[in-house]
Amino acid sequence: MTVAAATRAGTLRGRALTDRAWFDRPALEVAQDLLGRSLVHDAPEGLVAGRIVETEAYAGPEDLAAHSSHGRTPRNGVMFGPPGHLYVYFIYGMHHCLNVVCGPGSKPEAVLVRSAAIEHGEALARSRRGAAGRGPVARLAAGPGNLAAAFGIDRSLNGADLTSGPVYLTEDQRPGRVLARPRVGVTYAAEWAALPWRFLVADDPHVSRR
């Protein structure tokens, strides 16, 4: 997909975000600035777009909850590359999770996109969720595994360039009141688990149940 096509599709909720410098910042900044923006996947079978309502920041090697804390591996190599790319991993033998690679510079930080409110392509998102897609629309992309499934994102998109598609973000941002909460599922890094590095839009029904 070209930038022109991304901009055309981005008129659904604003222009496509194509400035790589926007991503070249600490994950704690990017995690909060992602709220209210649209995540878009313009796939051959159709376009799904949704407003991001929940994120988690992972602050590089010193953050023992971050994948990059163990050094570079075949799984997390994208985190050590340029910012503005997708880092997609498979977890628990059943879920994909999508992350936005950040900076600053070559520092391997990332933001996990946890939940989104589907705004376009609901029928396609439901079909991707299978039987679980018959439930309320607010649950379609609530939680990182559900979000990746609804948007059709798997390891084949690991390393995809967010500035050129087929997965991209929009420039618009209307997040409302933002809350900071502890991250989920990082009790293995006890001293980091209580940090309020999960950000969510207050009172939004599309956030995860946690």
pLDDT at 93: 77
Question: How many domains does the chain contain in total?
Answer: 1
In a domain, 206, yes or no: no
pLDDT at 63 (0 to 100): 87
24 lies in some domain: yes
pLDDT of res. 192:
76
Residues of the chain where predicted confidence (pLDDT) is lower than 50: 1-11
Cα angle: 145, vertex 25, 147; to 5 degrees: 10
Quote the distance between the C-alpha of residue 79 and its chain's center. Answer: 14
Helices (H), the chain: 3-10, 27-33, 122-129, 144-151, 190-193
Range of the domain at 57: 3-201
pLDDT in tens, 68-103: 998 999 888 999 999 999 999 998 778 999 999 999
Q: What is the CATH number of the domain that holds 94?
A: 3.10.300.10
Looking at the domain assignment, is residue 207 inside a domain? no
The reported pLDDT for the residue numbered 94 is: 83
Look up the pTM and report it.
Answer: 0.91
Neighbours of 76 (CB within 10 A): 21
Answer whether residue 25 is part of any domain.
yes
